[in-house]
């Protein structure tokens, strides 16, 4: 064995030892460990369960309506701690579709253990991701949630009927982010508060659940109350921006957290 060969073998040995020590260090309890949690989406219309097509509901203003489709994107999930630090779940994009019960249960993995006191997420798909294109997974799952012609996502979709609507139809496509200076931006980021004195405890051996109440009435009430006689058909633009503000104000609330 010549010397350079010997050097190579020696180096390899050193490297291997280093790796083994690194492994040891990994399982050391003082380094960050991870856990999982779930977001359980519980759709309703006020206190009533949301049943597509069959049930008739009433808005706070007294307008009656049915819902035949209700879907939205939920993305950029972030957990915050009392000290202000945060963990952003990478590549977290989900499409929640009332017609698909499986889609109401979101599993999040590889979250650093810790005591989290807040949850933030985007209702819709952020513009940076939209502009990047090349959609896969949830972003490619439903062609009906994308406007090919303007290359923008529908962030929240509600379709249904109302006797108060002049056409009988309700089409709320809360879509897009463009317009001068983002005038037509309908993407909203929300931080529904945890119940008092409740934390999300991420531990390696636990699988806690955040139960979110998703209130359809949130679209129609809040800062810009909607009456179907005048607003029954919106597909992006200023009217959709107003509905987006309603969504930001009151569509999501944390019902409770299961420590599990």
Partner 1 sequence: MKFIRHFSFRRWRGLAGAGLAGLLLGAAACRREAEAPAPEHFPAPTPYALVQPPLFPAIPAPPADNPLTVEGVELGRHLFYEKALSLDNSTSCGSCHQQARAFTDGRARAQGVGGALHARSAMALQNLVWEPKLTWDGASPSLEQQARTPIENAVEMHQPLRAGVARLQQMAPYPPLFGKAFGTSTITEENALKALAQFERTLISSNSRYDRYRRGDRSLLSADEVRGLQLFSIHPNGTLRGGNCSDCHGGELQTDHNFRNNGLDAAFADLGLSSQTGRPTDNGKFRVPSLRNVALTAPYMHDGRLATLQDVLDHYNEHVAFNSPTIDPLLLNTTNDPLQQRHDLELTAQEKTQIIAFLRTLTDSTFILDPRFSAPR
Nearer to partner 1, 77 or 96 (CB): 96
Cα separation of 222 and 193, whole Å?
Answer: 17
Q: Which of residues 172-201 bind partner 1 (CB under 8 A)?
A: 173
Cα separation of 64 and 55, whole Å?
Answer: 10
CA R_g for the chain: 23
Tell me the site size for partner 1, rule CB under 8 A.
29
**By C-alpha distance, which of 244, 217, 192, 208 is closest to 61?**
217
Nearer to partner 1, 155 or 165 (CB): 165
Helix (H) or strand (E) holding 248: helix 238-250
Q: Which of residues 27-56 bind partner 1 (CB under 8 A)?
A: 52-54
Smallest distance from partner 1 to CB 91, Å: 16
Q: Which residues, other chains included, contact 235 with Cβ-Cβ below 8 Å and sequence gap of 6+?
A: 171, 173, 175
**232 near partner 1 (CB under 8 A):** yes
Nearer to partner 1, 130 or 161 (CB): 161
**169 near partner 1 (CB under 8 A):** yes
Q: Which of 10, 60, 86, 140 binds partner 1 (CB under 8 A)?
A: 140
Residue 108 near residue 100, CB atoms below 8 Å: no
**161 near partner 1 (CB under 8 A):** yes
Q: Which of 33, 56, 81, 142 binds partner 1 (CB under 8 A)?
A: 142
Smallest distance from partner 1 to CB 125, Å: 16
Q: Which of 171, 190, 201, 249 binds partner 1 (CB under 8 A)?
A: 171
Sign of CA dihedral 164, 167, 170, 173: negative
Nearer to partner 1, 144 or 204 (CB): 144
Smallest distance from partner 1 to CB 93, Å: 15
Cα separation of 156 and 41, whole Å?
Answer: 15
Half-sphere exposure of 88 (CA within 13 A, CB side): 7
Cα separation of 9 and 3, whole Å?
Answer: 10
Q: Which residues, other chains included, contact 82 with Cβ-Cβ below 8 Å and sequence gap of 6+?
A: 115, 117
Q: Which of 56, 92, 233, 253 binds partner 1 (CB under 8 A)?
A: 233
Smallest distance from partner 1 to CB 144, Å: 4
CA distances from 259 to 38, 195, 206, 210, 219 (A): 11, 13, 7, 9, 30
Q: Which of residues 76-135 bind partner 1 (CB under 8 A)?
A: none
Smallest distance from partner 1 to CB 143, Å: 2
* Interface residue list for partner 1 (CB under 8 A): 52-54, 68, 136, 140, 142-144, 146-149, 159-161, 165-171, 173, 232-233, 235-237
């Amino acid at each position: 064995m010549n010397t350079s060969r010997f050097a190579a073998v020696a180096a390899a040995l050193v490297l291997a030892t280093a790796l083994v020590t690194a492994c040891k260090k990994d399982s050391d309890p003082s380094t960050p460990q991870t856990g999982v949690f779930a977001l359980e989406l519980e759709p309703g219309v006020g206190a009533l369960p949301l049943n597509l097509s069959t049930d008739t509901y009433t808005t706070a203003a007294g307008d009656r309506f049915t819902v035949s489709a209700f879907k939205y994107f939920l993305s950029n999930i972030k957990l915050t701690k009392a000290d202000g630090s945060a963990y952003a779940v990478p590549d977290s994009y989900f499409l929640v579709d009332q017609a698909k019960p499986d889609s109401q249960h979101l599993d999040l993995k590889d979250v650093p253990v810790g005591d989290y006191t807040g949850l933030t997420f985007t209702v819709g798909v952020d513009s940076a991701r939209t502009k990047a294109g090349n959609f896969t997974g949830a972003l490619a799952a439903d062609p009906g949630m994308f406007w090919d012609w303007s290359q923008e996502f529908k962030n929240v979709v509600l379709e249904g009927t109302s006797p108060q609507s002049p056409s009988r139809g309700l089409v709320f496509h809360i879509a897009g982010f463009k317009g001068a200076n983002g005038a037509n931006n309908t993407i909203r980021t929300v931080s529904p508060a945890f119940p008092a004195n409740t934390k999300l405890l991420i531990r390696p051996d636990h699988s806690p659940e955040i139960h979110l109440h998703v209130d359809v009435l949130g679209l129609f009430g809040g800062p810009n109350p909607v009456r179907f006689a005048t607003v029954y058909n919106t597909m992006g633009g200023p009217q959709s921006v107003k509905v987006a503000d309603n969504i930001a104000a009151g569509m999501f609330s944390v019902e409770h957290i299961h420590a599990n």
